[in-house]
Amino acid sequence: MNDLPLKSGRFLLVFIGSTIAVAVALMAIEAATGTNIRNAGMSLIPYFVAASVEGQRHARKSDVQPENGTIWRGSVVMGLLGIAGSFILALPFIANPLGRSLLANTNPLLLLALVLGFAGLGVLMSRLFWGIGYKSERRNQAKKAKR
């Protein structure tokens, strides 16, 4: 797994940090304006941020873009790390009685389908935004080289 274009620990830290930052920003916007702008798409922002950071870091570190298969393998790892990070952040919810009672009344197959669907979407978003981060950094490097 050394050939993967990412550092797992950094990805997980950026993912968790950006998840918390999004939550704080949403609460601040709601407190300031009285408007709730939360939606399911917000849960993808941490994938965007963390995968872009990994793409940029790889572009700075290496002159060679990894093969497509290697990037996809890295995206699968990023998708799984995102699910792990989400579970880490969900532990306080699961640990309290209200969270447990809500989960107890939910169909386990539905929960599994949601987790798998979210993981699949995380893989696709990680792949897309890893590439965007990589290309963005390469363009920045080319601009700096021209100066």
Global pTM value: 0.86
Q: Which of 55, 45, 113 shows the shortest CA–CA distance to 85?
A: 45
Write the pLDDT tens digit of every residue in 84-125.
999 999 999 888 888 888 888 889 899 899 989 999 999 999
pLDDT of residue 2: 55
Q: How far is Cα 70 from Cα 3, in angstroms, rounded to an integer?
A: 7
Q: How far is Cα 7 from Cα 54, in angstroms, rounded to an integer?
A: 7
Single-letter amino acid, residue 70: T
